[in-house]
Structure 1
Amino acid sequence: MLVSAEAIATDPTTDGVFRVPTLPSARGPLSRTVIDLLRGDPDAARPGGVAAALQDPDLFSPDLFSPDLFSTDLFSTDPYGDDLQLALYLCYEMHYVGFADADAAWEWQPELLSLRAGLERRFLDALHRDVPAATADDTAGSEMDELCIENPDGAGASYHLRDNGTWEQFRQLFALRSLYHLKEADPHAWAIPRLRGHAKAAYVAVEFDEFGGGRGDAVHQELFADLLRASDLSADYLGYLDTVPGVALTPVNLMSLFGLHRRYRGAAVGHLAATEITSPPGSQRLLAGLERLDAPEACRHFYREHVEADAVHEQILRTDVVGDLVRSAPDTEADVIFGIRAFLFVEDALDAHVMGAWERGESAFPGI
């Protein structure tokens, strides 16, 4: 029996209604500027105005924007901090679902794109400073081989949750990860039109699985929404954007940056390879912890799916995607390596945030 859209929309027992998010609160002058832009009229914006003002406040100082923006030195702002990462996340979100209170025309408005470019430069400069560059002796194959080396008694959040984690700590991790998992596979999908031949076909095969193999209820984003509901957490898309720390936004911004720039197609491929290679063992540890706690089946199912599917994806990515890409376009190999190493850098930072909080006896996400 088909259920009408009107019935779904008015049935309070239905969890399946998709709610377009609204803009969050600002974290500082950069995110406040983006929010002010997105709440305004895209046809009234002056191309390059705000971005230019960040470099030279005398160039442009409209009443629309907060005065403290023009005392902000973009290139001294913490590139991994809450303000810049939220501002960048908001810019990128206009290419995904967007916001109910932001005109969709902002997606390609030159003013927003100009500001985004300045934020990206600051983020990329920091990444190239902090992530070791590939040397002439480094190969994508050896980089992926290193990812496969797993210490069964290692440190980190997944090890802690496997052995000693509490249900509340799992819930904190779920909420932190929701900013990615509710758009899982979307950032990587931007790379599809940038690939060719066998690499493209194999990459699409991996993404096809991520999107449920043609079944809406099996889309990994939907499986994570089920997990959130089973954990008494908000399953709304971007439901925790207002409170999630910047360190949890950075991994998603990295994916969006790589995916939205053809220049970084190799990095996008490397990032997905790193994601899929490290996912099965990490998911297995989280699954073991959830089974130890007799957690709801929806939670266990999400990680069980990643143990099984991502083990297959690893082999496809190593040989059919990365291998074919590097053979057909050798100039992308350094970017593949950068994508892998940048993935590890931002994931390690999030892991350090989580473990630091737990070791201090604090919540890793007080926003829930």
Structure 2
Amino acid sequence: MQLPAARGRVSAALIDALAGRTTKLPAFAHFDGDEDLHLTLFVCYELAYRGWDGVDDCWEWDPGLLRLRTAAENRYLSSLYDLVGAPTEAVDPATVPAALARIVEEDDGPGLSGYLRGRATFEQFREFVTHRSVYHLREADPHSWALPRIGGRAKAALVEIQTDEYGGGIEPRMHQELFKRTMRWFDLDLSYGGYVDSVGAPTLAVNNLMSLFGLHRARRGMILGHLAAYEMTSSLPNRAYANGLRRLGGDADATAFYDEHVEADAVHEQIAAHDLCGSFAAAEPARAADVLFGARCALAVDSLWAQSVLDTWQQGRSSLRNRTVQPVLAG
């Protein structure tokens, strides 16, 4: 993946250092707004995934980079506390599955899935897929960070969910690969991270949230709650996405990713709430509140992203930073 274009002073200094244009990382953390903040975080986090073309892998553990990342993480965490409140001091572990169900039930997101099902144009749906490609081309990877950090029944439950996400070991069935079929139908670039420059801070924030939780052992409860929220709210929206694609003429390849999630996540919902999060909370009662915090953050940050997309469409504008994404096969 190519290093993206900077969006402010901090991200510019970071990218210049990683590209070898300077020997110094930024010695400041005064971000030029959310675009600068979330691009900085995304660039730092990607070093723990597949990395950046031409950037030495040793940067992942560079002390200066970690100091910068920590400053950006603290800024992001502060905004999350403002959004959903900080984790409470004590939660009865036995109540965690029911509490997760209430959080999901009370979620009143902006209705993006309904819009895509019944009203979105071809180009709007294509933009939606472009945004989601930043996550779906590495789907499951952020949550897999939790595997070595938990044990017992919770670990077994996470393995069960992740096995489905990775296609049971069959490459074409991996959800990352299924999403490429949708992208191919829209003539989009299938490259991992190919649209980072095209999406704004709300999209990067969705992805950064998973890394913020997943890359820190201390936040293992949060990443499990995040996964549970995703699994417990996935089936109905994915059914809407699939039906929206069919309305636009999408074939079986176009809808395969969404159709797969309708079935798989209906099963995962109970596993995630009870076997994964319930068992984890019972084993680590002090982390029960973290599970609920992770779930609340997942839904709230996704809602902010969805609202940002809908707002631009309602204003007759593109939701992408570069206005439009050209078809790969055009010409």
Amino acid at match of 1:35: I
**Paired residue for 1:168?**
123
Distance 1:293 1:255 in 2: 31
2:223 corresponds to 1:243 = no
Distance 1:147 1:302 in 2: 26
2:101 corresponds to 1:145 = yes
Taking CA–CA contacts closer than 8 Å with sequence separation of 6 or more, which of the two structures ends up with the larger relative contact order?
A: 2
Distance 2:73 2:104 in 1: 31
Distance 2:184 2:200 in 1: 21
CA contact (8 A) 1:185 1:211 kept: yes
**Which segments of 5 or more consecutive residues in structure 2 lack a partner in the other structure?**
326-331
2:168 corresponds to 1:188 = no
Q: TM-score, normalised by structure 1?
A: 0.82
**Paired residue for 1:282?**
237
Quick one: which of 10, 13, 16 aligns to 1:36?
Answer: 16
Q: Could you tell me how far 1:150 is from its partner in structure 2?
A: 8.6
**Paired residue for 2:319?**
364
Larger Rg: 1
Once the two structures are superposed, residues 260-313 of structure 1 have per-residue CA deviations (whole angstroms, 9 ceiling, x without a partner) of: 001100000000000111111110111111122221322211100010111111
Distance 1:211 1:83 in 2: 32
Q: Could you tell me how far 1:230 is from its partner in structure 2?
A: 1.4
Q: Could you tell me how far 1:137 is from its partner in structure 2?
A: 6.9
CA contact (8 A) 1:132 1:341 kept: no
Quick one: which of 330, 342, 359 aligns to 2:285?
Answer: 330
Structure 1 pair 82–275 and aligned structure 2 pair: CA distance change class (3 A): same
Q: Could you tell me how far 1:148 is from its partner in structure 2?
A: 4.9
**Paired residue for 1:10?**
none
CA contact (8 A) 1:162 1:290 kept: yes
CA contact (8 A) 1:147 1:278 kept: no
SS in structure 1 at match of 2:296: helix
Amino acid at match of 2:57: A
Q: Could you tell me how far 1:120 is from its partner in structure 2?
A: 0.7
Distance 1:147 1:304 in 2: 25
2:26 corresponds to 1:73 = no
CA contact (8 A) 2:228 2:272 kept: yes
TM alignment of 1:295-310, pairs within 5 A: 295-310=250-265
Distance 1:26 1:357 in 2: 23
Amino acid at match of 1:143: A
**Paired residue for 2:328?**
none
2:229 corresponds to 1:229 = no
**Paired residue for 2:75?**
122
Quick one: which of 203, 214, 220 aligns to 1:265?
Answer: 220
Distance 2:36 2:301 in 1: 17
RMSD of aligned alpha carbons: 2.1
TM alignment of 1:87-98, pairs within 5 A: 87-98=40-51
Q: Extract structure 1 runs of 4+ deviating beyond 6 A.
A: none
When structure 1 is superposed on structure 2, of 243-252 and 356-365 the one drifting more is: 356-365
SS in structure 1 at match of 2:176: helix
Amino acid at match of 1:142: A
**Paired residue for 1:83?**
36
SS in structure 2 at match of 1:26: coil
Distance 1:322 1:254 in 2: 18
**Paired residue for 1:61?**
none
CA contact (8 A) 2:103 2:295 kept: no
Q: Could you tell me how far 1:41 is from its partner in structure 2?
A: 8.9
**Paired residue for 2:85?**
132
Between the aligned residues of both structures, percent identity stands at 45
Distance 2:105 2:292 in 1: 17
How many residue pairs match? The answer is 320
Structure 1 pair 283–201 and aligned structure 2 pair: CA distance change class (3 A): same
**Which segments of 5 or more consecutive residues in structure 1 lack a partner in the other structure?**
1-20, 55-71
SS in structure 2 at match of 1:73: coil
Q: Could you tell me how far 1:37 is from its partner in structure 2?
A: 1.7
**Paired residue for 1:109?**
62
CA contact (8 A) 1:212 1:219 kept: yes
Amino acid at match of 1:96: Y
Distance 2:324 2:37 in 1: 19
Distance 1:258 1:287 in 2: 30
Distance 1:314 1:118 in 2: 35
CA contact (8 A) 2:103 2:296 kept: no
